[in-house]
């Protein structure tokens, strides 16, 4: 529906520049977000391609958020949660895991490569791991190339008059 449609001009203006993957990261407030924070305060260097969205729990990440990120031009989506057994709300990370597994099956059917969605358990002290995950993900996305949502071309060319 109209408000869910991404801006086309964004993609067009990008074409001229070399590809830099855009990663949207939904990070749990209690672990991965703090790890990202620690990586920052520790002055670790890692790929600057991430856009962080803080959520209270990885279980809060609605699959609609993930699809919306892809629809708005993300090349990859990272969900960061607490290690199994460590969820601040007891079970949220298991819910995230279940949703992520099913979402991956569905994304495969929709033609979206497996590596574009990633779920990682990163505790508040694992800044080094956060750095590694970000670098690894960006590298893989670079190999995959940009994700271009197939905008229904007929709408642009013919239907909307």
Partner 1 sequence: MAEKPKVAFYGCASCGGCEETVLDLGEALLDVAAAVEVVFWPVAFDFKRNDVEAAADGAILATFVNGAIRTTEQAEMAHLLRRKSRLLVACGACSHLGGIPGLANLFDRKSILESIYCESPSTINQKGVLPGGQSRDNGRSVELPRFYQTVYTLDQVVDVDYYVPGCPPTPKILHSALRTLLGGELPPKGTVLAPDQALCEECPRRDSKPENLSLNQFKRLPEVLIDEDQCLLGQGVLCLGPATRAGCEALCIQGNMPCTGCCGPTSRVRDQGAKILAALAALVAGKEAAEIDHTLATIPDPAGSFYRYSLPCCLLWRKTTRDSQTR
Q: Is 87 in the site for partner 1 (CB under 8 A)?
A: no
9 binds partner 1 (CB under 8 A): no
Asked whether position 94 contacts partner 1 by CB under 8 A, the answer is: yes
Residue 40, interface with partner 1 (CB under 8 A)? no
8 Å CB contact between 119 and 100: yes
Cβ closest to partner 1, residue 17 vs residue 41: 17
Q: Produce one character per residue of 64-91: b if its CB has 16 or more CB atoms within 10 Å, e if not.
A: ebbbebbeebbbbbbbbbbeeeebeeee
What minimum distance in Å lies between the beta carbon of 47 and partner 1?
Answer: 21
Binding of partner 1 at residue 161 (CB under 8 A)?
yes
Options 7, 110, 114, 125; binder of partner 1; rule CB under 8 A = 110
Q: How far is the CB of 124 from partner 1 (least distance, A)?
A: 21
Contact call for residue 27 and partner 1 (CB under 8 A): no
Dist CA 134 CA 48 (whole Å): 9
Alpha helices (H) in the chain, listed in sequence order: 8-14, 32-41, 63-71, 92-109, 127-144, 153-154
Q: 27 near 53, Cβ under 8 Å?
A: yes
Q: Which residues contact partner 1 (rule: CB under 8 A)?
A: 1, 4, 62-64, 66-68, 70-71, 84, 94-95, 97-99, 101-103, 105-106, 109-112, 145-155, 158-161
């Amino acid at each position: 529906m109209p408000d869910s449609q991404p801006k086309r001009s964004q993609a067009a203006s990008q074409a001229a520049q070399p590809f830099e993957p855009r990663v949207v990261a939904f990070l749990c407030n209690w672990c991965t977000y703090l790890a990202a924070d620690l990586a920052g305060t520790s002055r670790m260097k890692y790929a600057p391609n991430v856009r962080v969205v803080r959520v209270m729990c990885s279980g809060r990440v609605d699959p609609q958020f993930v699809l919306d990120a892809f629809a708005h031009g993300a090349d990859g989506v990272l969900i960061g949660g607490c290690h199994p057994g460590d969820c601040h709300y007891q079970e949220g990370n298991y819910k995230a895991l279940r949703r992520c597994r099913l979402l991956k099956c569905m994304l495969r059917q929709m033609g979206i490569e497996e590596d574009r969605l990633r779920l990682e358990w990163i505790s508040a002290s694992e800044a080094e791991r956060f750095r590694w995950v970000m670098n690894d993900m960006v590298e893989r996305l670079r190999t995959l190339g940009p994700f271009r949502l197939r905008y229904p071309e007929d709408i642009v060319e013919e239907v909307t008059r």
